[in-house]
Structure formats: structure tokens, C-alpha cells
Structure 1
Amino acid sequence: MYIRIKNCNNIDLGIVSLDKDVLNIKYAINGTGKSTISKAISKSVSDRVNGTNEIKDLLPFKLLGTDIMPEVSGCEDICSIKVFNEDYINDFTYQPDELLKGSFDILIRDDNFDNGVSEIETLVSKIKSYFLGNHEIESLINDLDELSKCLGKPTKTGLHKSSAISKSLGSGNIVENIPAGLESYKDFIQSDSNVKWVKWQIEGQGFLETSDNCPYCIHDVSDRKEDIKKVSQTYDSGTIQSLNKLLTVFDSLNVYFSPSTQTTIAEITGCIDGYTDDHVDFIIEVRDQVDRFNEKLKRLREIGFATLKDDVEIVEKLREYKVNISLYTHLNSELTRDKVAVINDEIDTLIESGGILKGKIQKHKRYIENLVAKHNDAINNFLRNAGYKYSVSLMEDANGVHKLKLLHSDLIDKEVSRAQNVLSYGEKNAFALVLFMFDAVKSSPDLVILDDPISSFDKNKKYAIIEMLFKHGRPFSGKTVLLLSHDFEPIVDMLYHHTDRFVKPSTAFLRNDNGELMEERIEKSDVRTFYEINNDNIGSARCLISKLVYLRRNYEILNSKGCGYQLVSSILHRNYPPTIKNEGTEREMIQEEIEEAVAEVRKVISDFDYQEAMDLVSSDDDIISLYVSSDSGYEKLHLYRVLSEREGAVATATVVMKFINQAFHIENDYIYQLNPEKYQTVPQYIIDECNAYVQSISLPS
């Protein structure tokens, strides 16, 4: 497909090709508009699918205030997209207890996982359905939880003093048994709003000292002040509230208690002087049975793969779920027996299909174990190949959920906590890219865009990432992927060196000429050493200066800096007579050395004439004429450099000179690269600076 981009940031108009089901590498120098391409495509798809208007954010500044809007067409077949860029990295969340947020959902939970769980859940569905949506059972579990809280945690001496039962019944039930002298308050103390009344009564006591009259009825209460004060001395809202809660829970659970237990509970809750030691023993016994019975119900409610996966003997495990009501004497009521009978019948039915259940559980366990091993190996192989000392492990927590943990070989217990604080910027990027890979594979978008994903890594790590993503059989192999990069190494590795390891990518060079975006295909034959490129260009260059520049580069590559090299350097630097520079010294070449140098150069450039070369570099007009007629940015740099070193030349921009100096030194080149005569690898802003300089010296003064 061909995607047409118009009026988006620095792209006035451009067409980007995209081959389906392969990796599309777009190699471009910085400033070409790689991120704009990524944003234009992703925002266009989002606008069409979600009905938004995000594409407007890409409107160039020069078009603000006009009716012109950004346009993207040609990607109508793309309905889903996943983009790795700086936004993805910045939004990446590291967790205190796991390396990657949502690692279980991304790395483990997939359709196969859900289907496996579903098959197991189908077999245990009858038992679970007895609990799910059963309001009575849910209320029973909640009431049992509440009763356990009211009775408090066990202590060596019996009942905890802070428990609801200790606070409300430790000194007797003073709601049911109203102390002498307070009988007249019975209706209030035993009302449903007794807690509010006690609060109100206590708060109102502050007015008793203001007057002998009641603050409400204005009757004289001077002889009753002691009785009024006795209410707050006897009652407090917290105690009554605890008692009310306790009595409500006991009342809700009464039908589940055996008759004798109901009687004893009524005796304890209605005692005048507080419970006895025998009562305490009884309460502890009830609490123990309540907790055990409640735990049984909760386990049955949660029965499934997570609770059965660690047991080899599934049938024996299922029998443990059955409830022996004879062991719960305090809960041995007719209603409890009826409910237990239903539960036990369902468990017996499940036991009959225990072999099938066991098989499905074991199959699902093997699937998870294989998935964990596969992901651990994939990530750790990448980390090892990239030279990181870190490793990862998908570890299962107490809830049966796998979380990706970060490990380090230098730690005794291996696990690294708070990865956010210890990982470097590059390491964070690497882990973010790992997550993105699995995330994108799981969501299976129509298009994956990688916006300069490897720019922050060294050569070894770059290859480790490319191999992790695109090697035969790896996650992105066979997917439609757009890789935007200013790194040439992926093209060299995948198109030239390791064609047996990777599916052949669709590769192109992007150039941006003052807003016009163009792409040129890159084939394997275009990936060459710079020595080969130099030899070709020496023979094909139209300009003698360019021929000499490429020859000089070959001398540098071969570290051959004899007379030929010295003569060519002198010509390009306009040194006449020619000189020999060596370890900080400089002297003029003698005639024999000049003749030797000319002969050496003619072995490569057969029609080379030294005087003709010097006449050419000495003529500003001739060089300017060559510059203006040249279509090659790299050739323009050759000519610009000669002009910039002429006598009396005004100093040029330091940024431009830095770029030129880098472009003219072999140590800044890749071993393999594209021919700069064919591919415009020189940034447009550099050419613009050169154009301005040449124009300034060619105008009449």
C-alpha cells in the first residue's frame, strides 16, 4: 500500500510505501520526519476508528490560521495499530512488586489460558453456582465473618478486651438489665435509637450546670440531676453500639445454631453480671467452629483451577471439601444440615468426574509452565545477548497470579525491588520494548510502528533487539511492521549479512527536500563497504575534485599516506607548492616526489593532470559553477569545503564545519553504508547553509 501524507509538521507532501506481512525499514537521517510519519499514520487510523480529530495536532506552524488541514490517505485497510515511541516509554509503569505493570495479562493470560480455565470452571460450576447469586449463603458468610470479628481474636486468657463481646457483655447486658434508679429511662435505653439517645443525653449534660431547669421543658430538675448524670456514668454509645451489633448478628445466625447452643447464647447475652469463665470457654468453642465452617464455605465458593492445581490426587482433595456436620455441634441445626447435604451431594457428583477434572487441570498446568519457560527464556536470552547482568522470572504469587520479577546476579536473593530506581535510561527502554513486543503480539494489530526503537543502544544491543523481534519464528516475523530509524545497522544485518536468519525486509531510504518527502528503495547490492563505494565513485564522478576526494578517502582507509596521499591533500587544501605533513612537521615536496605522486594517482585516475587540478581548485568561478550544477549533496560538500578554505574566506558556521569534518573522516563511517552519490544522506539544513555561502561569494561585491 502507498500512504500519502500531506501538510503534517515538516512534511508538505510525501508518499510512504508499506508492504504487507513483512518488516518495512525506512532509513533516514534525523530531521527527515520519521516521527511525523508515525504520528500521521497512527492519528489518521485513530480518527477514522474512534471518530476523533487528532490529526489536526500535526498542522505545520506556517499553516496556522488558514483553512488547510493535515491529510493522510492510503491506510484505510488499517483498523488497529500499535506504536512504540517515546510516549510508550514515558507511560511505562514499573511496579514495586513486579517489573512490568500487567505482566500476567500480557505474558500469561491469552485465549488458550482462558479456555483452559473455562473448561475446568464448567466442571465445578454446579458447586460454585450454589454460592454465586445465592443471597442467603452470601449473607451467612458475611454474618459468620461479622460474628468472628465481634468475638475477637483468640488470646491466652480467653477473649480480647477490645472485642465487641468483651466491651458489651463483660459487665452484663445493661440494656436488657437496666440498673436500679434508671428504670424511668427504659423506653429510651431499649429503643432502636438507643445509641443516638445516649449520645444526645451525654452531650446535653453540659447544660445541667447552667440552670436547675430542664433545657427542654424548663421544669425544675434540681432533685434529679444525680439520676441524669448516672446515665452517662453507666452507658456510653460505643458499648451500646457494640452490643446492638452483636445481638443483631446472633439473631441472624440463630437458625444455624443447634437448640442447646441457642439457649446458651441467649443466657450469655442476657446475663446481668457479665459472662463467667465457663461462658468464655463456650464462646471460644463457638468461635472456633464458626471460623472453621466459614472457611469451608469460602473454599467451596472459590473452588477452581487456582485451588486445585497443586494437588496430584484430585479426588482426595475434593473429599476434603465435604462438610462433616457432626464436627460442628454448635451449628448442627436442621437448616444447616439441609444446606450441607446439598453441598456434599454436589461434591460427590464432582468426585465422579474427578479423573476428567484431573486431566484438564494437569493439561492447563503444563500449558502455563511451558508458557512461563518460553517467555523466561525469550527475555533472558535477549538480556544475555545484549550484555545485561539482569534476568527475569515469571513467579506465581499466593493468589496464583504470575508476576514478572527482575533479578540480578549480584544479589544474594536475586530479586530486585523497585526497578524504577535502579534501572538506567537505556535499560528502562529495553524492558519497555520487551513488554511492547509481547503486548503487540497479544493485541495483534494490523500495523506495528517502531519509531527509532534502537537509537539509544550500542551495536551489540541493537542486534540483540533486532534478533529478538524479527529473527525467523520470533514475534514480529511475518507481521506488518514499519521500522523508522536513523540507524543503518538493521539493514546491514538483515539485508546483507544474515539473510538466513531473517525474512527479507522491504527497505528504503527517506529524504526530505524542503518538505517534499521521497523514498528510494534499498537492495542488497546497495549495501557496500565505503572502500567499494569510493572505487566506484572515482570512476563515475563527473567532477575531478570529487574523484580526488574519494581517492583520498581510500588512502585513509588503507592508511596509505605516501606521496600520492600528500599530493591529493595539498590539491584539496589549495596548497601550492604541495607539501608533506608528518607528525606535526610540514615541508615542500621536491620534484621527484611530485612526479612519484602523479604516477601513483594516475594508476587510479588515468587522465590525471596535476596542473589542471590546481587550476581547477584555484578558480572560485569554476568551483561555484560545478557546485550549482551538482545534484549530489555529498559532492556539494566536497566543493564547499574547497571554497571555504580559499584565501580570505569568511569563517563558516561551526555546526556546518563540524558536520563536514565528520563526513570527511573514516572513523565516523559505518563499515557498510549507502553510496552518498545516490542517496542524499546530507541533511537539507547543511546544504541550505552551503547554498547560502556559495551564493554570498558568487554575488558581485
Structure 2
Amino acid sequence: MVDYQIKIENCNSIDCADILIKKGSLNIKYGPNGLGKSTIARAIVSQARNDGSLELLAPFKGRGKAGAGQPKVSGIDGIASALVFDEGYVNQFAFQQDEVVKNSFDIFIKTAEYEKTMLEIEALFAGIKKAFSDNVEIEQTTKDLKELRDAFGKTNADGSIAKSSKLLKAYGSGNKIENIPEVLKPFESFIKSQDPSKWIGWQIKGNEFLKLGDTCPYCSTALPDGPQKDIPLAVAKEYDANAIAHLNTLKAVIERLGKYFSPKGQENLEKITKAKLELTAPEKSFLSGLKTDIEALIAMLEGLRTISFYSLRDVDEIADKIRLLKIDLGMTEKLDSVETRKVTEPINAQLEELIKQVGALKGSINKHKAKIKKAIEENQDSINSFLKSAGYKYSVVIIPEPDSYKMKLLHKDLAGHIDSASKHLSYGEKNAFALVLFMHQVLSDNPDIIVLDDPISSFDKNKKFAILHELFRGKASLRDRTTLMLTHDIEPAIDVIKSKASAFQGASPSATFLSSKGGIVTEVQIKPDEIHTFAKICTEILSAPGDTLIKSIYLRRYFEIMDNVGLAYNLLASLFKKRANPTVQSATESRDMTGSEKSQAVAEIKKHIAEFDYDALVNTVSDDNAMKAKFFATEVGYEKIQLFRIIRGKHEDDVISKFINESYHIENEYVMQLNPHKFEGVPEYVVDECSRLLKTA
């Protein structure tokens, strides 16, 4: 298996970075903030996807300058797809309105095996589907039937059609397009035009101008006296533009559907649509029955058109269900015509063929249901097991939807699932959920590389391990996949390659430490035996040759870590405060150290630093030039900032001062650390700022 030796050039603040990624392994890259870890991730992903986004990483210092180096990534041949977990993934992908994660069906259920089985099942429905596709008119016919059905509107409690329906508004008072009142005969060509509602609307709007004078507001000729002056008003009295629009639309639909009505049905419908007067009770009853028949035929056609695994997955007796789908025009007599049978008989014939194969169909559907059930249970159990072990009160459940499946969020204190999960989950809970859901998407999408950009640093230790365990040890995990984890948190490296290494052997993990200097990013492998307590690191440095003052810095730290803050500790603290006469400082006292106490303290220190001489070292720390020389002589960032603290006390920037102080004391130290002589953990900008001040002082 060939690993990836990746070179990244001219990307944001990175001039050059050489990164080794072991293929099929978990690659942890640990380093301080501000190093460019996210840039490394973006560069690799941009190159892998080849989507043109790499050029967006061009450094500002080179933009617009001739000959400036362009962003470049090499060494990733064979990586053509990537999936990235970062803050954007959490915000854009997970926690939709009605499901925990967008496209949960595609992620958890729709595997290659699922699709293969679906094709096999759909093949059994091919005859019915073909019967629909062979009849080009059936789609328009169904659409017209639906439009006519909708025109009936809602029925009253007694089953009659409501007066507010489009149908009764159009025909309830008679067809006044076919039966024009005598007084309006002069307007017949307009009333019987292709779209009479527009003319009627225009005509009615103009009536308000009749009262302005004796001139016609439409043609500007003189209006005659007598009854004829009221003729234009008769249009508004006899016609309603909306009703006429409904009538015109329904007329076209009924004409298209005419051949599908039974002979008697056609006869009755023609009487109704051409009636002069208000419809009679029997005519309205006929329309109610027609609506029922239309709804029944639509339901039967749609049931057959959409027949699928989903429509039959919850059916116990599939044969009985299929027989019920057969279109029986004897039960919808108003639509029983020669033309309707031309549509339904080929479909029914294919349905009979399907019934002959019902044994195979039932077997395929039940087998498929069993596989889906197993996939659902495995995914639910995996996620819920993680949530429980990490101390979350949430769980998930995958439930069937009309044509898919969706994952819903539950809480132990709430009945039913939670809508809008994003409103209820905390920041940490969102991240934890998103990480586990991301893992399942990886299994679904199968990318060439997985990038985890600082995924777990915000969690407490127990949750960090629970997430790592789920990602790389769970039944459905990222083992054997090329994974790049970028983090400023050392705990993943500690867990994966040292304290819990046996648990992660299957992921073939490796960890490296990233550092940056002058735009050049390098990495050093972190071996299990290089992760120590800081107390052990201090003793290793103290036992090796080195500068006495710098050793004194590590010894003070050692005493603090070991909670040995007696005379020796106070003597070293006094040294760094440049006190010629050392003091004893504690919660209960503040006084000068006696000569006897000083001798006792020196003797204890000499057990660790044989050449220690307090008075000589006080002279050194009081000499800024000597201290600056020591600052610029050491290459270890940790030592530089400790020396800076002795020289200047604090930085002019409060943020940098806070960083320096936290590295001086132990409040924020991890129990396990890396030796600063080999692994440069101090950000370059902090060292640069300290150097700048000392150079200008």
C-alpha cells in the first residue's frame, strides 16, 4: 500500500508544507492554533475535488504581483473524492426541520444492495408501468379527471355538492353562454367568444362610467333614451366573470373527457351543461354520483401507476391487495365506456400477470423488508449506544415515510420525536450528533479521503473518547479508511497511540506534530514513548547538559507540578523576580528568607542542578543584555517565552501575556505533554512578538 507524500505550496500563510498521509489509516496531525491546519485540509480537498476552489487559497502577499507562486498541491494521485467534517458540515448538513439529518434515507438505508433489490422488485411491476407508458392519453386523461374532481369542491354533510363549488357556480343557474337572454343577443359574438370572461369583466368595469353622461363609455356614441339605455347594465346582471371563466374551463375539460363517460352519462351531462334554468335535484344528484365515480377511477389509476415496494411493504396479504387494485368499471358505471375500457383493460391484464407472480413478489418484498429492518436496527443501535455511553439523553429512531425512511430525534423525557432538532441541541450535542452521522455518510458515500478538521476539542475527556471509539472502533466505523484528523488538542493522540492504543490498532493510527516557521510547515512523528507527564519531561531536561538558568526554569515548573512549593521553589521564584535577597511567599506569610533557609534551598536545588549558584544567576537575570542573548540563543519556543517573562514581565498585548502566563503556571496544562525540545508547541507569532519587543527595547 503506497502512502501519500503530499506537498502544499502557496496556500494562505503556508509557503510550503510536506505532509505524509498513511493510506487506509487514521492520521492525526496535532499542532497549535494559527498554524494553518484548516488551510492544509482545504488545499487537499480542493485538489481532490478539482472544483476550482484551490485558487481561492492564493496568499494575499502574492495577489496582483507578477511571478507570484500559485496554490499547488501534489502527491495526492488516486484521491478524487473527499468528505470533510468541520463547522460548515454541522451547520449545513445536519438537523433539518423534520429529520435529524438531511437525506437520512440515502445515508442509512439506500445501499448498493438496497438499490439492486429494488430494481429486482420494480422489474415485476414493469408490465403495469408499460401499460401506462404505452397509452399516451392516460396522463392527460388523469389530469382532466382531477381538474373535474376539484371543480366539484367539498361535498356537504348529506353528500350534495356545495353551491360554492366551481361546477355549480358555472352551471348551477343554467348555461348562460348557450342560452343568452334576448336582451343581450346583440352581444352574442362576444359572449360566445373563446374567452368570454375577459369581455364580460371589461364590460362590467365600464358600467361605472354610464352615470357620467349620455355617451356610451365603450364607443363614445350617444346613448338612446328609454329601456335600451339599460342594456349595458344587463351584462352585469346576468353574468359573473369568474363563473363564466369556470364554465369555459370546465367546458373544455368535459369535452376532452366526453368519450370516457358512459352513453347515459354523456346524455345526462349534456343536459346539465346546456340547461337553461337552475339545476334540478335529480341533476344535482347525478353530479354527486359522477364525482364519486371520478374519485374512484382516479384512486384506482393512481394506485396502479404508483404500485411499488413502498405501497406494498406494510401489506400482510399482497395477493389480496393487488386484486383490490383491479379496475372494475361495473362499479363506476357513469365512466363505463368503450374508450375507458381501452385504457383499463390492458392495465388489468398486466395486473393479472402480476398476480401469477405474487409468490415471487411477496418473497422479494419480505426479504427486502427484513434487510431494511436489519439495517435500521444496526444503525439505530450503533448511534444510540454511542449517545448512551457519552452521557446524552437523546436517541434516534428511523421510521418509514410514504416513499422513503427518515431518522427522527427522541429525548428520554419527551413522548414522540423532536421537530427542529437544531433548536434543542446544545453546541456540543450538535457536534457529537453530526460526527456520528458524518461517519455513516462516509460509509454511504465511500470517499477516497476523510478530513476531520478539529472535530472533538470542544468536548470533555469522556465524550472525546466515546466519539473516537465510535468513529474508529464501532461496528460501522472508519477503520481501514484514509482519514486525516487535524487538531490542536493532544488528547486524541494520547488516547489513540498511547493510553488506549490497543483499542485503536485496527485503524493503524499514526500521530505527527505540526510546526510552522517562516511559512514552512513541517511535521515530526509522535511515538508512544514521547508522550510523558510534564514532570518527567522536566527531569529528562534537567539530567541532560544545558544552560543553568534554563534548567532552573524547568525545575521551578517541576516543583510546582509536584506541589513541592517549599523553600527551593521560593528561591527559584525569587530568582526569576530578580531579588538579591530571596523571599518566602505563601498564603500565610510574606518575608525574607533566612541565610539558613537559603542554604537549605540551594542544597535541594543542587540535587537536580549541580552547578546552581543563586547569587551569580541573580546577576544574570538582572542583566537585560545577557538575558536577551540567552533568548536569541535558544531555539525552543517554550524557553523563549519563559525568558521573555523574566526580562519584561509581560507583553504589551494582553492576549499574548495571557498565553505566556499560562505556560508559566500549570492551571491549563494537560497531564500528558510532548517535550518542547523536540515538539515546538508555542505558536510562531507569539515568539515573533516577544522577539520584536526585545529587539526594539
| TM-score, structure 1 as length reference | 0.91
Alignment of 1:487 onto 2:489? yes
| Larger deviation, residues 181-190 vs 297-306 | 181-190
SS in structure 2 opposite 1:420?
helix
> Who is 2:161 aligned against?
159
| Larger deviation, residues 164-173 vs 192-201 | 192-201
Alpha-carbon separation, structure 1, partners of 2:36 and 2:685: 13
> Who is 1:147 aligned against?
148
> Who is 2:673 aligned against?
673
Alpha-carbon separation, structure 1, partners of 2:195 and 2:581: 114
| Larger deviation, residues 23-32 vs 242-251 | 242-251
Residues 12, 58 of structure 2: 8 Å contact kept: yes
> Who is 2:417 aligned against?
415
SS in structure 2 opposite 1:159?
coil
Q: CA deviation at 1:278?
A: 1.7
Identity of aligned residues (%): 38
Q: CA deviation at 1:309?
A: 0.3
> Who is 2:529 aligned against?
525
Q: Which amino acid aligns with 1:27?
A: Y
| Larger deviation, residues 650-659 vs 677-686 | 650-659
Q: Which runs of 5+ in 1 are unaligned?
A: none
> Who is 1:404 aligned against?
407
> Who is 2:512 aligned against?
508
Residues 23, 480 of structure 1: 8 Å contact kept: yes
Q: CA deviation at 1:353?
A: 0.9
1:554 to 553, 558, 561: 558
> Who is 2:448 aligned against?
446
Alignment of 1:233 onto 2:237? yes
Alpha-carbon separation, structure 2, partners of 1:64 and 1:298: 62
* Superposed CA offset, 1:388-435 (max 9, x none): 3332222323x2332222222333x24222233333333333333344
Residues 453, 485 of structure 1: 8 Å contact kept: yes
Alpha-carbon separation, structure 2, partners of 1:216 and 1:578: 114
* Superposed CA offset, 1:346-385 (max 9, x none): 1111111111111111122122222222222233233333
SS in structure 1 opposite 2:457?
coil
SS in structure 2 opposite 1:450?
strand
Alpha-carbon separation, structure 2, partners of 1:679 and 1:99: 41
Alpha-carbon separation, structure 2, partners of 1:183 and 1:286: 33
Q: CA deviation at 1:333?
A: 1.9
Q: CA deviation at 1:184?
A: 4.5
Alpha-carbon separation, structure 2, partners of 1:667 and 1:229: 92
Q: Which amino acid aligns with 1:471?
A: R
> Who is 1:384 aligned against?
388
Give the 5 Å matches for 1:95-494.
95-132=96-133, 134-157=135-158, 158-206=160-208, 208=210, 210-211=213-214, 215-216=218-219, 218=221, 221-222=224-225, 224-397=228-401, 399-411=402-414, 413-471=415-473, 473-494=475-496
Alpha-carbon separation, structure 1, partners of 2:570 and 2:241: 103
* Superposed CA offset, 1:630-687 (max 9, x none): 2222233343343346xxxx97654444323211222321111101121111222222
Cα distance change on mapping 1:215 and 1:288 into 2, 3 Å:
closer
Alignment of 1:16 onto 2:37? no
| Larger deviation, residues 222-231 vs 66-75 | 222-231
Q: CA deviation at 1:460?
A: 2.6
Q: CA deviation at 1:68?
A: 0.4
| Larger deviation, residues 361-370 vs 582-591 | 582-591
Alpha-carbon separation, structure 1, partners of 2:538 and 2:455: 31
Residues 116, 364 of structure 1: 8 Å contact kept: yes
> Who is 1:30 aligned against?
33
| Larger deviation, residues 166-175 vs 431-440 | 431-440
Q: Alpha carbon RMSD of aligned pairs, Å?
A: 2.8
Alpha-carbon separation, structure 2, partners of 1:584 and 1:60: 56
Alignment of 1:660 onto 2:660? yes
SS in structure 1 opposite 2:15?
strand
| TM-score, structure 2 as length reference | 0.91
Cα distance change on mapping 1:280 and 1:563 into 2, 3 Å:
same
> Who is 1:60 aligned against?
60
1:635 to 618, 639, 642: 639
Alpha-carbon separation, structure 1, partners of 2:271 and 2:392: 71
Alpha-carbon separation, structure 2, partners of 1:623 and 1:527: 30
Cα distance change on mapping 1:337 and 1:134 into 2, 3 Å:
closer
Q: CA deviation at 1:512?
A: 0.8
Q: Which runs of 5+ in 2 are unaligned?
A: none
Q: CA deviation at 1:120?
A: 1.1
Alpha-carbon separation, structure 2, partners of 1:35 and 1:77: 22
Cα distance change on mapping 1:213 and 1:329 into 2, 3 Å:
closer
Residues 132, 347 of structure 2: 8 Å contact kept: no
Number of residue pairs matched by the alignment: 688
Q: Which amino acid aligns with 1:395?
A: I
Residues 451, 484 of structure 1: 8 Å contact kept: yes
| Larger deviation, residues 208-217 vs 539-548 | 208-217
Q: Which amino acid aligns with 1:448?
A: I
Cα distance change on mapping 1:190 and 1:10 into 2, 3 Å:
closer
Q: Which amino acid aligns with 2:670?
A: Y
Alpha-carbon separation, structure 2, partners of 1:621 and 1:362: 85
Residues 391, 406 of structure 1: 8 Å contact kept: yes
Residues 178, 186 of structure 1: 8 Å contact kept: yes
Q: CA deviation at 1:620?
A: 5.0
Q: CA deviation at 1:301?
A: 0.5
Alpha-carbon separation, structure 2, partners of 1:693 and 1:192: 88
Q: Which amino acid aligns with 1:143?
A: D
SS in structure 2 opposite 1:658?
helix
Alpha-carbon separation, structure 1, partners of 2:696 and 2:180: 109
Q: Which amino acid aligns with 2:543?
A: G
Alpha-carbon separation, structure 2, partners of 1:315 and 1:291: 24
> Who is 2:572 aligned against?
568
| Larger deviation, residues 304-313 vs 191-200 | 191-200
Q: CA deviation at 1:287?
A: 1.4
Q: Which amino acid aligns with 1:82?
A: L
Residues 8, 60 of structure 1: 8 Å contact kept: no
Alpha-carbon separation, structure 2, partners of 1:172 and 1:622: 111
Residues 25, 481 of structure 2: 8 Å contact kept: yes
| Larger deviation, residues 602-611 vs 299-308 | 602-611
Q: Which amino acid aligns with 1:119?
A: E
Residues 213, 221 of structure 1: 8 Å contact kept: no
Cα distance change on mapping 1:165 and 1:39 into 2, 3 Å:
closer
> Who is 2:5 aligned against?
2
Q: CA deviation at 1:531?
A: 1.9
Residues 545, 638 of structure 1: 8 Å contact kept: no
* Superposed CA offset, 1:438-457 (max 9, x none): 33332222222222222332
Cα distance change on mapping 1:188 and 1:694 into 2, 3 Å:
closer
Residues 635, 677 of structure 1: 8 Å contact kept: no
* Superposed CA offset, 1:79-128 (max 9, x none): 22222233334434643222333332333323222222221111011112
Q: CA deviation at 1:523?
A: 0.9
Alpha-carbon separation, structure 2, partners of 1:206 and 1:589: 109
Residues 398, 407 of structure 2: 8 Å contact kept: yes
| Larger deviation, residues 685-694 vs 217-226 | 217-226
> Who is 2:71 aligned against?
71
Q: CA deviation at 1:509?
A: 0.8
